[in-house]
Amino acid sequence: MKNIKFLILGLLFGIILVKSQVISWFRIQEMFRLQAFHMYGIIGSAIVIGIISIQLIKRFQLKTIHGEQTVIPDKTFHWGNVYGGLIFGCGWAITGACPGPLFAQIGSGVLVTIVTLLSAIAGTWIYGLIREKLPH
């Protein structure tokens, strides 16, 4: 079962999300109202550690545990980054959750989030359906 390690990593991520209260609607409100540093500190320090780690991986040309070259796929700009980003931002402020915390909230016992998650899946599906008609 080569996927078990990803399950365990997800499990650790879920624990961090709950323990740092990132999955709280109130924390997201506090962030968007600029009334606490908490969320900015979490996202900011995660990025700093991410940048350092990736630089180290590149500098020392670290390979994966399977001995493969590490590859980081390039993201190319499209206008969806802007339009979709704005739409997601609105959704984030309403639901108080991005996709990771949606899963963690369900695990925490907030079962009504299953509805929010199903709706997010529906949103993704509708995007796939009308993708060609949208500006990118």
- Figure out which of the listed residues 59, 61, 67, 129 binds another protein, where binding follows CB under 8 A: 129
Q: Does the footprint of another protein cover residue 60 (CB under 8 A)? A: no
Q: Is 91 exposed, middle or buried (0-12, 13-18, 19+ CB in 10 A)?
A: middle
Q: Least Å distance between CB 60 and another protein? A: 11
Q: Least Å distance between CB 28 and another protein? A: 8
Q: Does the footprint of another protein cover residue 67 (CB under 8 A)? A: no
Q: Does the footprint of another protein cover residue 65 (CB under 8 A)? A: yes
Residues in 3-32 at the binding interface with another protein, rule: CB under 8 A: 3-32
- Figure out which of the listed residues 59, 60, 61, 68 binds another protein, where binding follows CB under 8 A: 68
- Figure out which of the listed residues 59, 60, 61, 66 binds another protein, where binding follows CB under 8 A: 66
Q: Least Å distance between CB 66 and another protein? A: 7
